[in-house]
Amino acid sequence: MKTIACYSIKGGVGKTASAVNFAYWAAQEGLRTLLVDLDSQGASSFYFRVRNPEPKNWGKRFFDSAHPLVKQIKESDYDHLDILPAHESFRNFDSLLHQQGGKHNQLKKILRAVKSGYDVIILDCPPSISFLAENVFAAADAVAVPLIPTTLSQRTFDQLLAFFDQNNYPQAKLRPFFTMADGRKQLHLDTAAALRKRYKFFLKNAIPHSTYVEKMGVHRTPIDLFAHASRANSCYRALWREISDSVALGEDNHSKQGE
Amino acid sequence: MTLTCSWQLPTSLNRDTVLSALPSGMTAAPKSTQEVRVSVLDDDQWHICQRGDLLLYNHQDSRLELWQQQQRLAQETRPLTIRFHWQLNDPALAKLLQARLGVRAFTEKFTSEWQQHHLSVYNSDDKIIVRLTFTTLNSVSRELLSLLTIQPLRGYAKEARQLCRSLKKLGATPCDQLTPLQLLTLSGLNVPLPRHRPPFNLHDDEVTAVAIMRMVGQIVEQARAQEEGLIADIDSEFLHQYRVQLRKARSLVSLFKKDLPEPAFHQLKSSLKELSQHTNLLRDLDVFLLDHDHYLTMLPESLRPGLEQACRHIHRLRKRTWQKVITALDSADHRDKMDEINQAMTAPRLQPRGKKLKQRVDHHIVRQHRHICTSVSTLSTSCSDDAIHQLRIECKKLRYLLELFAELYPRKPLKVLTRELKALQETLGRFNDFTVQHQFLHQLAGELRDSDQKSSLNALSALLYQAQKQEKKQVFSILSTFDCDETTSRVHQLLAYGEPS
């Protein structure tokens, strides 16, 4: 079982759209997939039409034991794909983790309890560097970092690298990739080129700026369902392949698909 | 966890009425409709179904599936013309079917058709919460039967319960989760109970000749029951069983010849012999073809093409031989033979008084056992193959006596004695198989013109000869452990049981 996080310090860079489409393609490839919506805004749950759970403050018990977590898992409309929906109480994760001693392996421990049922767990993370983020870095086998090729995004990526260095998290876990890339904008082209030159570990595939990504909110489905032939769709699929190959995930499945 | 449940709908309730009564906030949309045509495959004796499993053939996608309760054990896509486990590609399915059927063929035993409508139920967010399957089939009484299966998605059990409550209000009846077997049973599948050999109803004091004639009659009847499968050429077991039954009948007639009226004995002896004889070649060919894959692995690569060619020749020869056999079975001569057997058995020449059965069977068991002990003591490593063959026949006669007259003896001592003779019989049986196949191949090689085929068959024959020689050593190793005193005491224990001490 592999855990892949979609994370960025910055908001609005396409974390949720990426997590939703990655989870969809993983499931389409036959991998038993769990998408965990850690962001209290619940956007990825919304995209899959899964409502927030009813119990009040259930997020308080999130790190206590696997049982309440397993109870909240919902089957999506697609084969092999389950969702652990967000809850508004998730916004208190940081203070909760702080109360529990600021440990970094709480998330890893709790996910271990559900790993036997899944081949891949995809974490849709809230922005910001926090205790939760550190738990994500400890739990994930790979951290997919979406970046808009702009100066601000470049800056936040540098901050992330510095944080990894300071806290001894292996940079090898990072899988940065460009989102909302617009080939007509010189700034995007220059920034992307500069970053690729500086950091060889940037993923080859990128997500173009596309209205279809925005329309996911209207359709409440992954792009494949309403814009199958779009470039954004094929880019998400290729990007997922690149990420899953980089963590040696589902090699059997890929070879089966290729047959 | 997901909870799947099934409901039987009254005739007044159709799909539309169920959907119009969905709890508020729920809507349904059709997903697909399937016309399902499923055949149950099994061997002649229904061995798969009788152990509670199902071998199903789905005609829509040519899928062969083995089911145990609600679990599909293995599957593969194959045309329906496939009949044996060794013709399958999936090793898991082949292995499971081998364990269930051995060399028997699986053929269509029952076919049913039903219609399935798959629907999804959505909540107010347009999220699927439950999947529904409406199944409509013609029941055994030809009434239209409607069944509904509710499969909630994980995390939506509460909504499914809500749906179940509204179904209950509509008058639907909950039923067990439908397994393929249940659906097929509702469609009229009726798996027969395991066929037990009918007892001979033997009595210790009845006249031996009367009992033997009755037994021969029943055994010949069992042989004749195989004729249909033999004519249809379903699998080699029909011929094998046909011959086994005739051999038993012949053994009985020969063992009790002094108890039978002389004309009846002669008539039965010659008629049964003739019936068996015309199937000898076909059985030899069947045995060779059943072992074909094993023979291929015995030969070096270079000789395999020759064997493959020879096999094609043997297949053609088998087809011609089988046609001769079925022509013979359909002939006036065959009917005459059967009439002769019936006449011999119903002849009024049987004396109402004669020797008592138990006494005679006891005598034969003792005598047969003595024959075996004498043979065992006189056999040496330099003895001929015929001498070993003779010992095998003596052992077989004793086995038939113990098996056919089991009704007259207590089960436990009979089982002990049979078990003690088993190892010897199995080794002698293997030795005989090697001898027969070695001779058969040697003879066949002599008849072939093609040098490649000849070389392959000669090489195989030589290998089988070596195997036969090895088995001969095994025979003597078993014979050295065969304790006549021990088995004699077992025989005495068997016969003394129930006698006043």
What value of ipTM does the predicted structure carry?
A: 0.88
8 A C-beta contact, residue A14 and residue A213 = yes
User: Which residues, in sequence order, are CB contacts of B240 under 8 Å at separation 6+?
Assistant: B283, B286
pLDDT in tens, B232-254: 999 999 999 999 999 999 999 99
Contact B127 A48 (CB under 8 A): yes
pLDDT band at B350 (very low <50, low <70, confident <90, very high): low
The H or E element spanning position B180 is helix B180-186
B29 and B162: one domain?
yes
Taking CB atoms and an 8 Å cutoff, what residues of chain A touch B154? 73-75, 82
pLDDT band at B2 (very low <50, low <70, confident <90, very high): very low
Most A CBs within 10 Å, among B4, B118, B125, to test the A interface = B125
pLDDT band at A19 (very low <50, low <70, confident <90, very high): very high
Q: Is B234 helix (H, G, I), strand (E, B) or coil?
A: coil
Which structural domain, as residue segments, surrounds residue B78?
A: 5-187
From A76-80, A177-181, A226-230, B330-334, the region with the lowest mean pLDDT: B330-334
Q: Is A256 exposed, middle or buried (0-12, 13-18, 19+ CB in 10 A)?
A: exposed
Quote the pLDDT of residue B104: 96
Quote the pLDDT of residue B489: 85
User: Which residues, in sequence order, are CB contacts of A173 under 8 Å at separation 6+?
Assistant: A137, A140, A141, A142, A143
Quote the pLDDT of residue B264: 85
Task: Provide the edge-to-edge strand list for the sheet that holds A142-147.
Answer: A74-75, A81-84, A33-37, A120-124, A2-6, A142-147, A174-178
B13 located within any domain = yes
- Looking at the partner chain, which of B120, B126, B154 has a beta carbon nearest the beta carbon of A75? B154
B342 located within any domain = yes
* Phi, psi for residue B173 in degrees, rounded to 5: -110, 125
Contact A74 B155 (CB under 8 A): yes
Quote the pLDDT of residue A197: 92
Taking CB atoms and an 8 Å cutoff, what residues of chain A touch B155? 72-75
Taking CB atoms and an 8 Å cutoff, what residues of chain B touch A74? 153-156
d(CA B136, CA B133): 10
With pLDDT > 70 as the criterion, what percentage of chain B qualifies?
A: 95
Q: Is B399 helix (H, G, I), strand (E, B) or coil?
A: helix
Per-residue pLDDT at A169 exceeds 60: yes
Quote the pLDDT of residue B497: 65
Question: Amino acid identity, residue A154?
Answer: Q
Structure tokens at A130: 């926090």
- The single residue listed with the structure tokens 């550190």 is A134
Helices (H) and strands (E) counted in chain B, each on its own, are: 18, 9
Question: Amino acid identity, residue B367?
Answer: R
From A29-38, B25-34, B194-203, the region with the lowest mean pLDDT: B194-203
Contact B127 A50 (CB under 8 A): yes
pLDDT in tens, A25-59: 999 999 999 999 999 899 999 999 999 887 777 77
Residue of A nearest to B131 (CA): A77
Min distance B95 CA to chain A CA atoms (Å): 24
Per-residue pLDDT at B458 exceeds 60: yes
pLDDT band at A16 (very low <50, low <70, confident <90, very high): very high
Taking CB atoms and an 8 Å cutoff, what residues of chain B touch A51? 125, 127
Count of domains forming chain B = 2
- Looking at the partner chain, which of A48, A49, A82 has a beta carbon nearest the beta carbon of B154? A82
B170 and B293: one domain?
no
Question: Amino acid identity, residue B345?
Answer: M
B269 and B416: one domain?
yes
B367 located within any domain = yes
B226 and B173: one domain?
no
Quote the pLDDT of residue A59: 75
Q: Is B182 exposed, middle or buried (0-12, 13-18, 19+ CB in 10 A)?
A: middle
Quote the pLDDT of residue B140: 64
Per-residue pLDDT at B48 exceeds 80: yes
Contact B126 A220 (CB under 8 A): yes
Quote the pLDDT of residue A170: 93
The CATH code of the domain that includes B444 is: 1.40.20.10
Contact A49 B154 (CB under 8 A): no
The H or E element spanning position A174 is strand A174-178
B276 and B408: one domain?
yes
Residues counted in chain A: 259
B197 located within any domain = no
pLDDT band at B448 (very low <50, low <70, confident <90, very high): confident
d(CA B423, CA B202): 29
Question: Amino acid identity, residue A4?
Answer: I
Quote the pLDDT of residue B246: 95
B243 and B121: one domain?
no
From A16-20, A82-86, B30-34, B470-474, the region with the lowest mean pLDDT: B470-474
pLDDT band at B102 (very low <50, low <70, confident <90, very high): very high
d(CA B62, CA B39): 11
pLDDT in tens, B462-474: 998 888 888 888 8
User: Which residues, in sequence order, are CB contacts of A83 under 8 Å at separation 6+?
Assistant: A34, A35, A37, A44, A45, A48, A50, A73, A74, A75, A76
Of A166, A176, A122, which is closest to residue A10 (Cα–Cα)? A176
Q: What would be the CATH architecture of the domain defined by A2-248?
A: 3-Layer(aba) Sandwich (3.40)
Residue of B nearest to A85 (CA): B155
Contact B153 A220 (CB under 8 A): no
pLDDT in tens, A180-189: 999 899 999 9
d(CA B444, CA A51): 77
B35 located within any domain = yes
Residue B82 or A253, more confident:
B82
pLDDT band at B262 (very low <50, low <70, confident <90, very high): confident
Domain ranges of chain A: 2-248
B193 located within any domain = no
Contact A82 B128 (CB under 8 A): no
Quote the pLDDT of residue B1: 40
d(CA A34, CA A192): 31
d(CA B387, CA A191): 96
From A139-153, B180-194, B294-308, the region with the lowest mean pLDDT: B180-194
Quote the pLDDT of residue A258: 43
B160 and B254: one domain?
no
Quote the pLDDT of residue A259: 39
B272 located within any domain = yes
Q: Rounded to the nearest 10 degrees, how much is the dihedral formed by the CA atoms of B332, B336, B339, B343?
A: 160
Mean pLDDT of B282-293: 91
pLDDT band at A256 (very low <50, low <70, confident <90, very high): very low
User: Which residues, in sequence order, are CB contacts of B408 under 8 Å at separation 6+?
Assistant: B202, B204, B357, B358, B361
The CATH code of the domain that includes B143 is: 2.40.320
Taking CB atoms and an 8 Å cutoff, what residues of chain A touch B156? 74-75
B163 and B214: one domain?
no
B501 located within any domain = no
Q: Is A179 exposed, middle or buried (0-12, 13-18, 19+ CB in 10 A)?
A: buried
Quote the pLDDT of residue B360: 92
d(CA A199, CA A147): 13
pTM: 0.69
Q: Which of residues 138-167 of A touch B (CB under 8 A)?
A: none
* Phi, psi for residue B408 in degrees, rounded to 5: -85, -10
Q: Is B312 exposed, middle or buried (0-12, 13-18, 19+ CB in 10 A)?
A: exposed
pLDDT in tens, B116-125: 899 999 999 9
B146 and B273: one domain?
no
Residue of B nearest to A74 (CA): B155
Structure tokens at B478: 């078993």
Quote the pLDDT of residue A255: 47
